[in-house]
Chains A and B, each alone.
Chain A
Amino acid sequence: MKFTLSWLKDHLETDANLEAIVEKLSLIGLEVEGVEDPAAELAAFTVARVISAEQHPNADRLRVCQVETAAHGTVQVVCGAPNARSGMIGVFAPSGSWIPGTEMELKPGKIRGAESNGMLVSEREMGLSDEHSGIIDLSPAEGETAPALGTPLAEVLGLNDPVIEIAITPNRGDCLGVHGVARDLAAAGIGRLKPLNAPKVSGSYDSPLKWQIDSEAAGACPFVAGRHFRGLTNGPSPAWMQRRLTAIGLRPISALVDITNYVTHDLGRPLHVFDAAKVAGNPTMRFARRGEEIVALDGKTYALDDSMLVIDGGQAPEGIGGIMGGEASGCTEGTTEVFLEVALFDPISVAMTGRKLGIHSDARYRFERKLDPDSAVWGVEVASRLIAELCGGEASHPVSAGKRPDPRRHIALRQTRCETLGGLAVPSEQQKEILEALGCDVADAGETLQVTTPTWRPDLEGEACLVEEVLRIVGYDRLPITPLELDTTLPLPALSQRQRRVAAARTALAWRGLEEAVTFSFISAKQAVLFGWNDAQLRLLNPISSELDVMRPSVLPALVEAAVRNSDRGFPDVGLFEVGPQYDDDTPEGQTLVAAGLRSGQALARHWATEQRDLDAFDAKADALAVLEAAGAPVENLQTTPNAPGWYHPGRSGQLRLGPNVLAAFGELHPRVLKAFDLKGPAVAFELFLERIPEPKRKDGGKARPALTLSPFHPVERDFAFLVAEDVPAEKLLRAAKGADRQLISGAQIFDVYRGQGVPDGQKSIALAVTLQPTERTLTDDDLEAAAKKIVTAVEKQTGGSLRS
């Protein structure tokens, strides 16, 4: 919503300056988005007189002018304009001024040997138009007087009127006209609201056209008024109106069109005028018929459907209700009689039609935000006054159809409510004053104020709304600053165990050298398919692009794509992780929190002291285990199984699980996936399902650890090597060894896996170091012998292998 300061003062009697008005607007909820003061930019440029213009001695096309100015005395200026001549009145730009049209600072200098200390400017140089064939010529016509020397250019052009732009929240349709803005300012103590200038214009004849509302359309258009005008002259509108319209970004067209635009912005009351000569019969509000079309005022053809309200001109739709008029019945320079439309349209109907047709108009914007029903009455009078003033002619008696709705509400406002809800006690007299200034009727009923809201404020629905009205006018700055007290001395934990795991996972992965990424929740269908997506319910109906149209079934594709992007930028060694959602279905339970990571490129940066090696599944397994440990999972009890999902290399991947509960998958990515993303392998990855980690069991519910028993006796380490079949998992062997004597064996580590000489084909040798921790006495050779025997027996029995001799 834009308006100029002088326009505002048409409605508001005030001594307040621009700064005070602008600040107050923001503080009462009409947020100022910008103030443009054309005069400020043109302040340096003033009216001057060319005393003499002589031919430049060294240049055919230049003249040396002596210019009389008010502030700089007589100045010599070299000028190339063909119209520069002795005695003319022009506009002078002094040296040092900023020329808006050329975006340069004007410097004194010598032009072909003649000094030049300023400039006589063209309209283009002033940024006013493209006119550059000559300098601005303000010489008076005969019988008129020239503007005084030194008069600012902005004043001469009538541009000394700052333009204010404010953002109107969707509830404040009443402030989509300057009058409404003025009312709010007046309520807030910035001046006095002038009454609406809507004297009754009496009609002199009966309107040949009558409004009709189709009975089915009464919901979409409850009321319409208008009148007929004849004997009009539709010339250009007066300069003051053109200036205002131009200032807010509208193009003046003709008096009749300008009047409708002006009233729309002045009073928030959209109007339409039909060229009555082009309307065949009584205009009727009705729903469009399927297949009907209209060429609207924007010159475009719109296909209508039966949910859209049109104004039927007797033969065809002549306008789309509340949105745009039709071209066929539009006013032209030759228009001499018109029929005025001042209607009330249903906001929802207008919004839906406007959305379907994709038309954004000033009328639609206002109807969507609800109009004052009374405006259908005073709107006719205002329009009639302006048409009479600008176009002459005579008006018919008003006509109307339908019934105006009454949006007023009766709301009880507890006098204490400003204090209990807003924190500020406002004297009831002041509450009453404010609400009355905003147009409410207020009756004091003891404990409460009985408030009747005005017709232009359908947004005032309940007590809380009235509290807001009082408080915003009093000023939010006057509300107290009250600390929020805790019910406890110290705050309780803000995070649940589950939420803390997220931070733990993040920290663990960062310490593993991975960078945290945050990627989009949607990916392309093509990528999603590779990661198991097959649920059409998870495909967006209106994606911003086909690259982002499916809710991701895994976090990995986004990380793979990020790796590719980094590689393309020249950074092929990538380690990334994300803790974020994957979407298994469209229910809340289908959203799973995953910690996922990806490594690609070189496993280790090239370094003088480290050997190079390729990334492998165990890098990913280590990452996954680090998260599990950080998140408090019982890592010791985890089993590894080889059946990871299809996007992993089938022979180089696995799952970490607790029985049937799969906590994580890890491994090399499938070559098919790498190829689809064009990522050079190997790349290893893991996905870990944070919510599946069981809550730690605590017997006493507290945080106490089990008692620690430290053995005084040295642990002993013994090495074993077993020959087992190739398909025996190492974990099985390890488990067998550890389980051989749970009292004595405190740990076992695999330190070698060997195939080759000395090991039969189809078998492998696995060497492990078993730690024996006695608790009662130092182990004797016999003890060790017995323990070793148990270990060998257990391993042989459970794996089918044999001790390697």
Chain B
Amino acid sequence: MLDQTSLDTLKSELLAEVSAATDSRALDEARVSALGKKGRVTALMKGLGGLSPDERREAGQRLNLVKEAVAAAIEARKAELAEAELEARLARETVDVTLPARPFSVGRIHPISQTIEELVAIFGEMGFSVAEGPHIEDDFHNFDALNIPPEHPARQEHDTFFLPPRAEGEAPLVLRTHTSPVQIRTMQQVEPPLRIICPGRTFRADSDATHSPMFHQVEGLVIDKKTHMGHLKGTLIEFCRTFFGIDDLPVRFRPSYFPFTEPSAEVDIGCAREGGRLKIGAGGDWLEILGSGMVHPKVLQNCGIDPEVYQGYAFGMGIERIAMLKYGIPDLRTFFDSDLRWLRHYGFVPLEAPSVVRGL
């Protein structure tokens, strides 16, 4: 039985069994029948004991070769089967990857918030910090301190909302008609030098296609001993060009009048009007976007700042207005309608805070 011919036969029989195994169970049966305790190779191993040492060594070596060959075949077949099984499993596990993923939606940031963040980013680079103040104001902070006495024609133009006075005989409270009272409060509380912007809600009793009873403004204020109108021009030209992202945006300063500044200037940016569409940039036409000027000495005085020592500039603009211009939003009133379709269309993904170095 241990002669070469018999062993060759045995070997080929066993290898055939192994290769015939089509699953792991059959393979295991083949292993048991060959190498198990009662397996054919094992049985022959046991039979080696009855041989002479020389025969035993020789037969043993031959038998071992068979055993190794069978064991190797089993291992190889095992791997093959595992691979096949894996293939089969993977085939079973196939899904329709064209199905939609589980929903996850990110909401949008309102254009007003985004625009304010952009303003903060730009003016922040120029050393301004953000100041805020109450919406319900008194007459002093909203008007008197800003050199708008009760009889001033500018008061009529403000379409002020009134609230009952705090005490009988006092002037009624107002909803701030501009963010300028924040400047007053800041000047009253903080020693110059000052460099602030004040973004926030403002209110005027006016409602039509181009007016909303609530809207947003941002104002800026610089107070120190040396800031002059050239700085005002430098700041606002830089702002306009950065905000709109147009390096050669024409910016024009026109004399104007505000009770709280002297000299005063309105600021226009270049635009083109073609076929009813407005395009910001060099285009031969002008669009007013800003009011500005050197802070009126009386305003400084009203805030306890000596106008003989300190001076500076202030400016203000409508946030919705510049957002409409930059982002092509046609209608002011839609800002406050909370229409989901509008919010998703004009809103901003909250991916990164606006920043000048990253681009606005």
Binding site for B on A (CB under 8 A): 26-29, 31, 169-172, 347-348, 351-352, 355, 368-369, 419-424, 462-465, 467-468, 471-472, 476-477, 479-484, 486-488, 491-496, 499, 503, 506-507, 509-522, 536-544, 548, 551, 558-559, 562, 565-566, 569, 571, 574-577, 579-581, 583, 586-588, 590-591, 604-605, 607-610
**Distance in Å: Cβ of A570 to nearest Cβ of chain B:** 10
Q: Does B6 contact A (CB under 8 A)?
A: no
Chain B residues 82 to 135 lying within 8 A of chain A, measured CB to CB, are 99-100, 102-110, 112-113, 117, 120, 123-130, 132-135
Residues from chain A with Cβ under 8 Å of B133 in the complex? 588
A369 and B153 contact, CB distance less than 8 A: yes
State which of B31-39, B252-260, B269-277 sits at the interface with chain A.
B252-260
**Distance in Å: Cβ of A609 to nearest Cβ of chain B:** 6
User: A171's closest neighbor in chain B, by CB?
Assistant: B257
Closest 8 interchain pairs by CB? A423-B230, A29-B255, A468-B263, A494-B124, A169-B257, A562-B338, A482-B230, A472-B255
* Given A510-B108, A511-B107, also A516-B253 (CB < 8 A): no
* Given A515-B340, A516-B347, also A538-B264 (CB < 8 A): no
Q: Does B246 contact A (CB under 8 A)?
A: no
User: B295's closest neighbor in chain A, by CB?
Assistant: A464
Q: Does B339 contact A (CB under 8 A)?
A: yes
Chain B residues 138 to 168 lying within 8 A of chain A, measured CB to CB, are 151-154, 156-157, 161-164, 166
**Considering the chains assembled together, what is the distance between the CA atoms of A758 and B355 in angstroms?**
60
Chain B residues 183 to 213 lying within 8 A of chain A, measured CB to CB, are 193, 197, 201, 203, 205-207, 213
Residues from chain A with Cβ under 8 Å of B222 in the complex? 484
A480 and B134 contact, CB distance less than 8 A: no
Q: Does B28 contact A (CB under 8 A)?
A: no
Which residue of B113, B125, B153 is within 8 Å of A491 (Cβ)?
Answer: B125
Q: Does B78 contact A (CB under 8 A)?
A: no
**Considering the chains assembled together, what is the distance between the CA atoms of A510 and B104 in angstroms?**
12
A464 and B338 contact, CB distance less than 8 A: no
**Distance in Å: Cβ of B181 to nearest Cβ of chain A:** 10
Chain B interface, DSSP helix/strand/loop, else mixed: mixed
Residues from chain A with Cβ under 8 Å of B335 in the complex? 518
Q: Does B262 contact A (CB under 8 A)?
A: yes
**Considering the chains assembled together, what is the distance between the CA atoms of A480 and B335 in angstroms?**
38
B125 and A476 contact, CB distance less than 8 A: no
B256 and A29 contact, CB distance less than 8 A: yes
Q: Does B279 contact A (CB under 8 A)?
A: no
* Given A423-B231, A510-B106, also A170-B341 (CB < 8 A): no
Mark B223-258 against chain A: 1 for CB-CB distance below 8 A, else 0.
000111111011101100000000000001111110
**Distance in Å: Cβ of B270 to nearest Cβ of chain A:** 14
Q: Does B265 contact A (CB under 8 A)?
A: yes
7 A/B residue pairs, CB under 8 Å, sorted by A: A471-B255, A494-B120, A517-B338, A540-B161, A551-B136, A591-B134, A591-B135
Q: Does B297 contact A (CB under 8 A)?
A: yes
B163 and A467 contact, CB distance less than 8 A: no
**Considering the chains assembled together, what is the distance between the CA atoms of A543 and B108 in angstroms?**
31
* Given A26-B254, A494-B130, also A481-B234 (CB < 8 A): yes
Residues from chain B with Cβ under 8 Å of A484 in the complex? 126-127, 222, 227, 231, 234-235
B265 and A607 contact, CB distance less than 8 A: no
**Considering the chains assembled together, what is the distance between the CA atoms of A511 and B352 in angstroms?**
12
B109 and A516 contact, CB distance less than 8 A: yes
**Considering the chains assembled together, what is the distance between the CA atoms of A502 and B136 in angstroms?**
21
A520 and B213 contact, CB distance less than 8 A: yes
Which residue of B103, B253, B338, B347 is within 8 Å of A476 (Cβ)?
Answer: B253
B228 and A516 contact, CB distance less than 8 A: no
Residues from chain A with Cβ under 8 Å of B120 in the complex? 494-495
B344 and A422 contact, CB distance less than 8 A: no
Residues from chain A with Cβ under 8 Å of B265 in the complex? 476
A467 and B344 contact, CB distance less than 8 A: no
Mark B16-54 against chain A: 1 for CB-CB distance below 8 A, else 0.
000000000000000000000000000000000000000
Q: Does B172 contact A (CB under 8 A)?
A: yes
**Distance in Å: Cβ of A386 to nearest Cβ of chain B:** 30
B163 and A577 contact, CB distance less than 8 A: no
B350 and A507 contact, CB distance less than 8 A: yes
A521 and B262 contact, CB distance less than 8 A: no
Which residue of A482, A607, A610 is within 8 Å of B228 (Cβ)?
Answer: A482
A607 and B102 contact, CB distance less than 8 A: yes
B127, B205, B255, B297, most chain A CB atoms within 10 A? B255
Q: Does B285 contact A (CB under 8 A)?
A: no
A348, A422, A479, most chain B CB atoms within 10 A? A479
B350 and A468 contact, CB distance less than 8 A: no
Residues from chain B with Cβ under 8 Å of A586 in the complex? 136, 163, 166, 173
Which residue of B103, B113, B336 is within 8 Å of A516 (Cβ)?
Answer: B113
B344 and A515 contact, CB distance less than 8 A: yes
B130 and A513 contact, CB distance less than 8 A: no
Residues from chain A with Cβ under 8 Å of B109 in the complex? 506-507, 510, 516
Q: Does B282 contact A (CB under 8 A)?
A: no
Q: Does B337 contact A (CB under 8 A)?
A: yes
Residues from chain B with Cβ under 8 Å of A548 in the complex? 213
Q: Does B321 contact A (CB under 8 A)?
A: no
A487 and B127 contact, CB distance less than 8 A: yes
**Considering the chains assembled together, what is the distance between the CA atoms of A468 and B294 in angstroms?**
10
A506 and B113 contact, CB distance less than 8 A: yes
* Given A420-B228, A481-B234, A536-B164, also A471-B263 (CB < 8 A): yes
Q: Does B353 contact A (CB under 8 A)?
A: yes
A607 and B255 contact, CB distance less than 8 A: no
**Distance in Å: Cβ of A69 to nearest Cβ of chain B:** 33
A539, A540, A576, most chain B CB atoms within 10 A? A540
**Considering the chains assembled together, what is the distance between the CA atoms of A583 and B136 in angstroms?**
9
Residues from chain A with Cβ under 8 Å of B124 in the complex? 491, 493-495
